[in-house]
């Protein structure tokens, strides 16, 4: 996955050194623990892969990923998947687990070579890398450009339905702190900007809210464009904040489409439903084309 902040790479250069050489960990323990704590608390999200090269070892490509954030005995814990590529050859992956003791303070990572999660982790990350490569951040931005396919669709819908859809979408996006282009991308896929459409399963409005979902997010009239946009955007934000998703856009989209229960059931990865996987790829394609 694309990591925007360059400071992340600086911080985690020392982190992976602790996987291969324990003696290095001991000599840099103080600085290393500060870097690790910052990384765990602030940066790397579920499903993200950070890839970098240490200037002291240019032949090594280092990779670090979080593949699950979970709770255990009341503590926030994270599982890791790491590997080194040396001269183009990928070495055996290493897995790690740690739990947070308090803000900015984590247990020492317990590393092992267990391979129980290797196959699903690889498959999951390959999918994430494909759909997330060069993707923008999901956070709200006021200065953005709609891809031509979205702009043409929303302009046509605004004329047909006599609604200020771009203004309404921006308002909902700002309220939920989400990138407006992401919301436009979801709407394009869900309803093609038609506030009056309903699916055969009863999902209605611009972001195709099911009756129970509409009730959950406070939408009394799914055919009210403003209500529907606010509710749909609120629900997507809720999915982004769910355990095991934690900011991962493809997983949030999969939960929006197939339900959070299915994302959880399949190990916090996009469920193996062709419809859902195509749904995620299509929306991410719109989102990345800006």
Q: Are residues 90 and 183 in the same domain?
A: no
**pLDDT value at residue 59:** 78
Judge whether 153 lies within some domain. yes
Judge whether 140 lies within some domain. no
Number of domain units in the chain: 2
**pLDDT value at residue 76:** 74
**pLDDT value at residue 68:** 66
By the 8 A CB rule, do 180 and 168 touch? no
Domain of 43? 6-132
Q: Are residues 284 and 160 in the same domain?
A: yes
The closest alpha carbon to 172, from 164, 198, 203, belongs to 164
pTM for the whole thing?
0.66
**pLDDT value at residue 51:** 72
**pLDDT value at residue 113:** 67
Judge whether 107 lies within some domain. yes
List the catalytic residues: 190
Judge whether 142 lies within some domain. no
pLDDT in tens, the chain (290 residues): 333 333 333 333 333 333 333 323 333 334 444 545 555 555 566 666 667 776 777 777 877 776 666 666 777 777 777 777 888 788 777 777 778 888 767 787 766 765 554 455 556 656 766 787 778 889 999 999 999 999 999 999 999 999 999 999 999 999 999 999 999 999 999 999 999 999 999 999 999 999 999 999 999 999 999 999 999 999 999 999 987 787 889 999 999 999 999 988 876 778 889 999 999 999 999 999 87
The closest alpha carbon to 189, from 117, 286, 93, belongs to 286
Q: Please report the sign of the dihedral spanned by the C-alpha atoms of residue 188, residue 191, residue 192, residue 194.
A: negative
Q: Are residues 117 and 30 in the same domain?
A: yes
Radius of gyration of the chain, Cα coordinates, nearest whole angstrom: 21
Pairs from 140-148 (Cβ < 8 Å, separation ≥ 24) = 140/173, 140/174, 140/176, 140/177, 140/178, 140/179, 140/180, 141/179, 141/180, 142/174, 144/179, 144/180, 144/181, 144/290, 145/181, 145/290, 146/181, 146/184, 146/290, 147/181, 147/286, 147/289, 147/290
**pLDDT value at residue 116:** 52
**pLDDT value at residue 114:** 59
């Amino acid at each position: 996955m694309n990591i925007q902040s360059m400071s992340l790479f600086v911080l985690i250069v020392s982190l992976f050194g602790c996987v291969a050489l324990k003696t290095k960990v001991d000599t840099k323990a103080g600085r290393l623990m500060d870097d690790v704590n910052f990384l765990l608390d602030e940066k790397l999200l579920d499903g993200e892969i950070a890839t970098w090269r240490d200037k002291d070892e240019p032949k090594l490509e280092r990779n670090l990923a979080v593949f699950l954030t979970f709770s255990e005995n009341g503590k926030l814990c994270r599982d890791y998947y790491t590997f080194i590529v040396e001269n183009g050859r990928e070495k055996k992956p290493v897995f790690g687990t740690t739990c947070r003791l308090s803000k900015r303070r984590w247990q020492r990572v317990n590393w092992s070579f267990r391979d129980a999660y290797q196959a699903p982790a690889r498959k999951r990350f390959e999918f994430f890398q494909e759909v997330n490569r060069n993707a923008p951040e999901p956070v709200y931005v006021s200065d953005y450009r709609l891809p031509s396919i979205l702009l043409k669709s929303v302009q046509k819908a605004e004329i047909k339905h006599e609604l200020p859809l771009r203004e309404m979408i921006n308002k909902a996006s700002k309220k939920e702190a989400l990138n407006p282009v992401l919301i436009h991308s979801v709407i394009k896929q869900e309803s093609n900007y038609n506030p009056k459409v309903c699916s055969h399963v009863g999902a209605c409005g611009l972001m195709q809210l099911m009756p129970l979902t509409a009730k959950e997010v406070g939408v009394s009239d799914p055919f009210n464009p403003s209500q529907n946009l606010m509710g749909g955007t609120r629900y997507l934000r809720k999915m982004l904040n769910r355990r095991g998703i934690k900011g991962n856009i493809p997983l949030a989209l999969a939960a929006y489409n197939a339900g959070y229960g299915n994302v959880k059931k399949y190990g916090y990865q996009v469920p193996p439903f062709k419809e859902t996987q195509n749904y995620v790829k299509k929306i991410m394609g719109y989102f990345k084309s800006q």
